[in-house]
Amino acid sequence: MDKKLELGRLASKMQTAKLPLKTNLVFGEGSPEAQVLFIGEAPGAKEDLLGRPFVGRSGELLTKTIEEIGWKREDVYITNIVKRRPPENRDPSPEEIEAYTPYLAKQIEIINPKIIVTLGRFATNYFLPELKISKDQGSVFKYEGRTIIPQFHPAAALRGTTVKNKFRKSFAKLPRLIKKIS
């Protein structure tokens, strides 16, 4: 089946499924044929308002850094572990993460990306619970046959120059990595 259609069906299923959090669904966006999938934590206020992932300040930095490596935001796919905004931007609970897990798993199966870039601690530890983002960001890991690169969350990169520089440096590795595993 067509990937776009399959993703649309999955999004419709999520709209009617009994899931925690009552804010707007932020399913994800980008190319269904993307080779690279970026996964954040959960939508913030602006994302909730617009129904799109990473469209606030963190999103601006993410988009800019994607463009700096010569890619376009619309050619990758961007989503979150939890697809509705937790109140007051609190961390998603283990129960919320668990409830949204089957949908994320299906989304990954449909897109079938070559690389998953996990943005921040939540997304990284969802796949690889033993990793420490400060130590492991920018390194390459395997998870169920897929390549995973943990990166700092762009919100962390916005808080300080040192983290921002590391964030950009790790992004710069992506084009070569994708060529290597193609």
Give least dist CB 1 to ligand URA, A. 27
Give least dist CB 137 to ligand URA, A. 15
Give least dist CB 160 to ligand URA, A. 17
Q: Interhelix angle for 57-68 vs 161-171, to 10°? A: 40
Judged by beta carbon, residue 54 or residue 77, the one nearer ligand URA is: 54
Judged by beta carbon, residue 124 or residue 147, the one nearer ligand URA is: 124
Judged by beta carbon, residue 47 or residue 136, the one nearer ligand URA is: 47
Residue nearest to ligand URA (CB): 40
Judged by beta carbon, residue 30 or residue 44, the one nearer ligand URA is: 44
The two structure tokens encoding residue 131: 């990793």
Give least dist CB 3 to ligand URA, A. 21
Judged by beta carbon, residue 42 or residue 97, the one nearer ligand URA is: 42
Measured CA to CA, the distance from residue 147 to residue 24 in angstroms comes to 30
Applying CB under 6 A, the residues found at the interface with ligand URA are: 40-44, 47, 53-54, 56, 58-59, 80
Give least dist CB 109 to ligand URA, A. 21
